[in-house]
Chains A and B, each alone.
Chain A
């Protein structure tokens, strides 16, 4: 087990170096630089441009800039935004909880609904319910979520007025952001109704971001359950006269969960991609929103640091999934 773990971790190192190089090179290949972007209609005198480029270190050769950057990263610094002048790490820490809150809610939503639906569909295989559910789930997996989000806003916020249009909480509420998770912070707020407001702001984004994982989880659960339900030990359990519910829940589901866990792990990257669109639509102040803005403003430190942090996160989750999987299934450890 230890050897397996070690091997997986060593594999990560070249990927990590590759990721820093890729994020650096890609971002510097984008035309325009942070100074040109902020100039606007007024234009800029060539002399001043030269001074500013020097101050931002942009007049250095690319390899030098990269070397400086690597040294900086190795010593644990990601630099400061060229726009707000705040350290990238601080900005990430203030915004990341918003993305995590949304993603976790979306994942919980997907699990709570997707798992039971998948189990029921597997048990009632071949019925109208099964076909209907699979139809709905393949539709869900095909959903252009940027459109889905707007349609939800159109129906539930604009026409019916049930949910707020955007943001994390009503503007009038004063919430001290000590954890960064609005649900937690608003719970401890002195303002009555702050928590309710936070919840109501979460509903639509959660549904929108959770749609694709929900569809995937339902499908995955169904097929995993079908496989397990055909296995010998289930037949044995049934033959022993255990109640059908007990057989399904205790014996079958537990075994079917292994592939489902893998799928959830793999969904993390997709969730972050989906979060970019969802945050854009719902003006959700999270990391996806932050990176899109940084691209527009050519905020190199934020882009480099942000993509790096996200890539590290994805790598960590992948590693976690691998390890869990190896733990659950000894055969793949060799």
Chain B
């Protein structure tokens, strides 16, 4: 309890981080309650109200507070359901990259030798390609779609986690307590997951929280290039791609989904910064 309290105290000092946390919690609530919170279904088309402007502009109406898109769907409702998708994207990508990266990193650190070399050189190769280019090629292989886009982004994120886990595992392995546990007869797996991994947790948590924002951003970029979620899925990047034809005439179809991405990514970045400062005393100033 007191550890949690200490953590919260050092976290709460950072006002930006608290703001980020609040926005994130708000998004979670919206995502969970999307069915209640959204005025309409995200895919319902109101064929007699195409491209209605937002309420404060001439021609706008309270029926569609943020206006409608080119087939008459309520933008507010799509954004609210999109929050659900974005959180899911962040969660899936980070979980995938985290699990795989941890497994690879621990294997490399424990096995050493040729296994280590192969894993780490492979990660080097992945890192050499610009991440977006690599993600685009991976999606081209798997075919466009939300899940495939998430896979692609997870692959791109993999080296970061693998390197991090390997580095911290190696430094833990050199410590006395590990040698002691080992000589006490603990198996390798037990050593990996019970002893070494918990000690690398802090940097991993920080990396994961920052990874959330990267995942949302990259998945949105793929959606924007037409390679992510397919219509009528209300994914924010995909909404932007659909808005391209109309944005000079109807600024709202472009502005709001982009703002939603920006705010979400910003919230996770602030949160990640705060977590880093609170969890990693070495970096704390």
Judge A-B direct contact (beta carbons within 8 Å): yes
- Within the complex, what minimum Cβ distance (angstroms) separates B13 from chain A? 13
Tell me if A138 and B266 are in contact (CB < 8 A).
yes
Tell me if B266 and A139 are in contact (CB < 8 A).
yes
What sequence of 0s and 1s flags, for each residue 130-158 of chain A, a beta carbon within 8 Å of any chain B beta carbon?
Answer: 00001100110111101110110010001
Are A26 and B130 also in contact (CB < 8 A) when A14-B121, A150-B254 are? no
* A158 CA to B143 CA, complexed, in Å: 35
What's the interface size class on A, roughly?
A: 35 or more
When distances are taken between beta carbons in the complex, the residues of chain B under 8 Å from A14 are: 121
A74 touches B (CB below 8 Å): no
B251 touches A (CB below 8 Å): yes
B184 touches A (CB below 8 Å): no
B235 touches A (CB below 8 Å): no
* A30 CA to B224 CA, complexed, in Å: 20
Q: List CB contacts (< 8 Å) of B132-156 with chain A.
A: 132-133, 136-138, 140-141, 143
Stretch in A47-55, A270-278, A320-328 with 4+ CB within 8 Å of B: A270-278
Tell me if A154 and B248 are in contact (CB < 8 A).
yes
A18 touches B (CB below 8 Å): yes
When distances are taken between beta carbons in the complex, the residues of chain A under 8 Å from B275 are: none
Count of chain A to chain B residue pairs whose CB atoms are closer than 8 Å in the complex: 120
When distances are taken between beta carbons in the complex, the residues of chain A under 8 Å from B45 are: none
A291 touches B (CB below 8 Å): yes
A31 touches B (CB below 8 Å): yes
A292 touches B (CB below 8 Å): yes
Stretch in B48-56, B62-70, B108-116, B257-265 with 4+ CB within 8 Å of A: B257-265
- Within the complex, what minimum Cβ distance (angstroms) separates A145 from chain B? 8
Q: Tell which of B125, B128, B137, B254 touches A151, judged by Cβ atoms closer than 8 Å.
A: B254
Q: List CB contacts (< 8 Å) of B102-127 with chain A.
A: 121-122, 124-127
Stretch in A186-194, A239-247, A306-314 with 4+ CB within 8 Å of B: A306-314
When distances are taken between beta carbons in the complex, the residues of chain A under 8 Å from B221 are: 144, 146, 277
- Within the complex, what minimum Cβ distance (angstroms) separates A164 from chain B? 15
What's the interface size class on B, roughly?
A: 35 or more
When distances are taken between beta carbons in the complex, the residues of chain B under 8 Å from A277 are: 132, 221, 224
Q: Tell which of A15, A144, A151, A276 touches B255, judged by Cβ atoms closer than 8 Å.
A: A151
When distances are taken between beta carbons in the complex, the residues of chain A under 8 Å from B266 are: 138-139, 142
Tell me if A26 and B124 are in contact (CB < 8 A).
no
- Within the complex, what minimum Cβ distance (angstroms) separates A118 from chain B? 15
Q: Tell which of A27, A135, A138, A146 touches B224, judged by Cβ atoms closer than 8 Å.
A: A146
Tell me if B136 and A29 are in contact (CB < 8 A).
no
Tell me if B122 and A295 are in contact (CB < 8 A).
no
A120 touches B (CB below 8 Å): no
A280 touches B (CB below 8 Å): yes
A104 touches B (CB below 8 Å): no
Centre residue among A146, A151, A288, A310 by max chain B CB count within 10 A:
A146
When distances are taken between beta carbons in the complex, the residues of chain A under 8 Å from B262 are: 139, 142-144, 147
Tell me if B133 and A30 are in contact (CB < 8 A).
no
When distances are taken between beta carbons in the complex, the residues of chain B under 8 Å from A147 are: 224, 240, 254, 257-258, 261-262
A226 touches B (CB below 8 Å): yes
When distances are taken between beta carbons in the complex, the residues of chain B under 8 Å from A226 are: 285
Tell me if A15 and B124 are in contact (CB < 8 A).
yes
Q: Tell which of B128, B131, B136 touches A19, judged by Cβ atoms closer than 8 Å.
A: B128
* A174 CA to B129 CA, complexed, in Å: 36
Q: Tell which of A15, A144, A303 touches B121, judged by Cβ atoms closer than 8 Å.
A: A15
When distances are taken between beta carbons in the complex, the residues of chain A under 8 Å from B125 are: 15, 18-19, 22
B220 touches A (CB below 8 Å): yes
Centre residue among A26, A147, A151, A280 by max chain B CB count within 10 A:
A147
When distances are taken between beta carbons in the complex, the residues of chain B under 8 Å from A31 are: 141, 143
- Within the complex, what minimum Cβ distance (angstroms) separates B154 from chain A? 16
Q: Tell which of A29, A134, A138, A276 touches B133, judged by Cβ atoms closer than 8 Å.
A: A276
Centre residue among A143, A150, A151, A318 by max chain B CB count within 10 A:
A150
- Within the complex, what minimum Cβ distance (angstroms) separates A115 from chain B? 20
- Within the complex, what minimum Cβ distance (angstroms) separates B258 from chain A? 3
* A272 CA to B261 CA, complexed, in Å: 22
* A280 CA to B227 CA, complexed, in Å: 14
B213 touches A (CB below 8 Å): yes
Are A291 and B265 also in contact (CB < 8 A) when A138-B273, A144-B221, A154-B248 are? no
* A150 CA to B270 CA, complexed, in Å: 25
Tell me if B141 and A272 are in contact (CB < 8 A).
no
* A190 CA to B132 CA, complexed, in Å: 40
Centre residue among B132, B217, B225, B285 by max chain A CB count within 10 A:
B132
What sequence of 0s and 1s flags, for each residue 268-311 of chain A, a beta carbon within 8 Å of any chain B beta carbon?
Answer: 01101110110010000000100110010000000100010011
When distances are taken between beta carbons in the complex, the residues of chain A under 8 Å from B16 are: 134-135, 138
Tell me if B285 and A26 are in contact (CB < 8 A).
no
B177 touches A (CB below 8 Å): no
* A57 CA to B87 CA, complexed, in Å: 45
Tell me if A310 and B273 are in contact (CB < 8 A).
no
* A280 CA to B132 CA, complexed, in Å: 13
* A274 CA to B130 CA, complexed, in Å: 9
8 shortest interchain CB distances as A-B pairs: A147-B258, A18-B125, A273-B130, A273-B132, A142-B265, A142-B266, A272-B130, A311-B128
Query: What are 27 inter-chain pairs, A to B, with CB distance below 8 A?
Result: A15-B121, A19-B128, A26-B138, A27-B137, A30-B140, A134-B16, A135-B16, A138-B273, A139-B266, A142-B213, A142-B262, A147-B224, A148-B258, A154-B254, A269-B128, A269-B131, A270-B130, A270-B131, A274-B132, A276-B136, A291-B133, A292-B136, A295-B136, A303-B137, A310-B129, A311-B129, A314-B128
